[in-house]
Each structure stands twice: as C-alpha cells, then as structure tokens.
C-alpha cells in the first residue's frame, strides 16, 4: 500500500479499532496507520487499504455501523 491511498478516518480510537476488526473478520486487506493532521480526524489512527478495496471496506463498515469518513 502506498502513501497515496485514501484513508478511512475516525472520531474515536474505538471506531478505528472496530473498523480494523471488521476488515480482519471479512478478510479485507487493511492496516492501521497514523491519521494525517490535515485530515481533521479527532482520532490519531486511520485505516488504509488498496484503492480497489475501498468500496468493499466502506460497504462493510456501513453494514456494521462503524462511523467513518474517507480522506482525502
């Protein structure tokens, strides 16, 4: 995964770790990375995945009710 990938950012650490659990349970490749300061995230953690997996991961997070947003 490169630094140019879009990131999922969160307002709480709980949401970030919940998102990581959802990705792991559904076998969606993702990794926890620092959230960029300019993202405006209230949590210092973000989740990064491959560009082709963004719709899959976003769908999974929506299904599970994990609050998130994509950056940039």
User: pLDDT for 5-55, tens place per residue?
Assistant: 689 999 999 999 999 999 999 999 999 999 999 999 999 999 999 999 999
Considering its fold, how many domains does the chain have in total?
Answer: 1
Q: Residue 4 has what pLDDT?
A: 61
In a domain, 61, yes or no: yes
Domain range for 31 is 7-71
Put simply, whether the predicted model's pTM sits higher than 0.85 gets the answer yes
**Residues 57 and 70 sit within 8 Å (Cβ to Cβ):** no
Contact at 8 Å (CB) between 30 and 63?
no
Does residue 2 belong to any structural domain of this protein?
no
Let me know the angle formed at the C-alpha of 38 by 34 and 44, rounded to the nearest 5 degrees.
30
pLDDT computed for residue 38 by the predictor? 93
Q: Does residue 66 lie in a domain region? A: yes
CATH of residue 64: 3.30.70
Tell me whether residue 13 is in a domain: yes
Instruction: Name the token pair of 8.
Output: 């999922």
pLDDT at 1: 61
């Amino acid at each position: 995964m490169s630094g140019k990938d879009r990131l999922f950012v969160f307002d709480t650490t709980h949401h970030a770790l919940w998102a990581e659990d959802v990705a792991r349970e559904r076998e969606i490749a993702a990794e926890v990375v620092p959230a960029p300061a300019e993202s405006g995230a209230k949590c210092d953690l973000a989740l990064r995945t491959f560009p082709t997996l963004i719709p899959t991961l976003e769908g999974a997070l929506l299904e599970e009710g994990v609050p998130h947003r994509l950056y940039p």
